[in-house]
Amino acid sequence: MLGKKSKADCYEADSDLIPLQVAKDRVLRNVLPIRDSEEVPHEDASGRVLFDDIASPVNVPPHRNAAMDGFAVESRQVPSRHAMVFAVAGTSRAGRPYRGSLEPGQVVRIMTGAIMPGGADLVVPQEHAEVIGKHEVRIGPGHRAGTNVRAAGEDIRQGQTVLNAGARIGPAEAGVLASLGIATVTARRRIRVAVLSTGDELRSSGQDLDNGALFDSNRHTLMAMLRRIGADVSDCGIQRDNPGDLLQALHDAATDHDVVITSGGVSTGSADHVLDVVRKVGSVQVWRVAVRPGRPFAQGRIGDALFFGLPGNPVAVMVTYYQLVQPALRRLMGESNIEPEATVQARSVSRFRKKPGRTEVYRAILSRDSQGQSIVRSTGDQGSGLLHSMSVANCFVLLTDDDDSAAPGDYVKVQPFYGLM
């Protein structure tokens, strides 16, 4: 036994809970990519999602060129057994090519990236050649045709599809676009997301904390996570636990946003009005997921806008966002790669408890032991209100429905935050 069963554990024997993977599949089925697109200058395209395939208008590199500094020569001229002295006919530099063609017994001094002169099919590195005076060089045997030469189109061929629709433009993609000379791309427009928190006890930063009140962190956490995936975020503030005011706020938010995200008010307490209100102005397709933390998660629609109702506890907000909301938003944005960061295996040095019938998501720290092997340890207390533990952690440990509890020495599935956050 890894721990006694608590009578207060609200997850026990609850057949209405939806398994995490089933919930994710249902959420994704309810999402279609936005169809709107816009032309975006290349320099502003980082983080945007391509609407169309990108085909290269040019060869990359555009010319046959040298892969290193040395001497360009025709391979048939290089002796097979003894060194030979060649005349240096000139120099080819990047952007300033040698204009002539090689004659028998000639070489051209060439710099990395410079166009190969006519007749040359080999670059002998300068450290493998002996310079004699200003105009001669001695080259030994053993050099083959094509060595240290980049062919035109070796990286990208003209007409080749280099980026597919649905690709998110990161540093490598931005570099590829620049290498093709592309000035603008057609991208999906940014999605518009409204974020609001619910609860009479919540106060905004800068306000006084009266008895029983606390500062609202969920709204700011959500807005930061949403901005990292390129969403256009609206701060809709804090809504009190009043059904009439909440109905008006949700209706207004859904009118001019693609997505409305709330935190708090989606459980079964007497002050939890969010779902009742959403059902009056829209619908709820997914509610209550077998995941800890994060059970009182909801997804539905308000008019044409997607609705996500997240739990009130701060860590549960982050867990449900990364596991359920972010993949859906990436699909809405038209992105082809919508899954969270892939899991890796690591040896646990902590004990992780797993209860049947639900997925457990633990905050943890991934590192290496003295032999360089991946190990993972818990951040400590896993209470869903301990937001500071998320700033200490660098990964989740996932114990899915079919997993057992993990003892020190067991291997567990780890989902690094790199790529997630």
Q: Directed axis angle between helix 274-281 and helix 243-255, to 10°?
A: 50
pLDDT at 269: 75
Residue 244, exposed/middle/buried by CB under 10 A (0-12, 13-18, 19+)?
Answer: exposed
Summarised one tens digit per residue, pLDDT across range 315-364 is: 999 999 999 999 999 999 999 988 767 789 999 999 999 999 999 999 99
Under DSSP, the state recorded for 172 is: H
pLDDT at 8: 41
pLDDT at 210: 86
Summarised one tens digit per residue, pLDDT across range 68-87 is: 999 999 999 998 889 999 99
**Omega cis (within 30) before 293:** yes
360 and 352 Cβ atoms separated by less than 8 Å: yes
CATH number (3.40.50.620, 3.40.462.40, 3.40.980.10, 3.30.1520.10) of 18-36+189-332 reads: 3.40.980.10
Helices (H), 132-288: 171-179, 218-228, 243-255, 274-281
pLDDT at 13: 45
Q: Is pLDDT larger for residue 43 or for residue 420?
A: 43
pLDDT at 14: 59
Q: How far apart are CA 291 and CA 309, in angstroms?
A: 15
Cα 202 to Cα 76, 246, 285, 294: the distances in Å are: 81, 15, 28, 20
Say which CATH class 344-416 falls into: mainly beta
Mean pLDDT score, 155-159:
96
**Omega cis (within 30) before 41:** no
Q: How far apart are CA 89 and CA 108, in angstroms?
A: 5
Mean pLDDT score, 235-255:
94
| Amino acid (1-letter code) at residue 385 | G
Say which CATH class 38-60+154-188 falls into: alpha beta
349 and 364 Cβ atoms separated by less than 8 Å: no
Summarised one tens digit per residue, pLDDT across range 15-26 is: 689 999 999 999
List, as one string, the DSSP characters of 342-373.
PPEEEEESS-B---TTSEEEEEEEEEE-TTS-
pLDDT at 80: 87
Instruction: Supply 88's token pair.
Output: 């240096």
Summarised one tens digit per residue, pLDDT across range 77-126 is: 998 889 999 999 999 999 999 999 999 999 999 999 999 999 999 999 99
Q: Pairing state of beta strands 214-215 and 202-203?
A: parallel
Domain ranges of the chain: 18-36+189-332, 38-60+154-188, 65-150, 344-416
List, as one string, the DSSP characters of 135-167.
TEEEE-S---TTTTEEPTTSSB-TT-EEE-TT-
Answer whether residue 249 shows pLDDT above 70.
Answer: yes
Q: How far apart are CA 278 and CA 66, in angstroms?
A: 65
Q: Would you place residue 420 in the very low, low, confident or very high pLDDT band (cuts 50, 70, 90)?
A: low
Kindly report the average pLDDT of the chain as a whole number: 92
* % of the chain at pLDDT higher than 90: 85
Does the 65-150 domain belong in CATH 2.170.190.11?
yes
246: Cβ contacts below 8 Å, ≥ 6 apart: 198, 239, 240, 265, 273, 274, 277
Q: Would you place residue 267 in the very low, low, confident or very high pLDDT band (cuts 50, 70, 90)?
A: confident
Q: Would you place residue 398 in the very low, low, confident or very high pLDDT band (cuts 50, 70, 90)?
A: very high
87: Cβ contacts below 8 Å, ≥ 6 apart: 105, 106, 107, 135, 136
Cα 51 to Cα 135, 169, 211, 245, 344: the distances in Å are: 55, 11, 51, 38, 31
Cα 147 to Cα 69, 97, 109, 154, 414: the distances in Å are: 12, 19, 15, 14, 44
Answer whether residue 9 shows pLDDT above 60.
Answer: no
Under DSSP, the state recorded for 13 is: T
Mean pLDDT score, 395-412:
95
Mean pLDDT score, 276-302:
95
Q: How far apart are CA 284 and CA 278, in angstroms?
A: 7
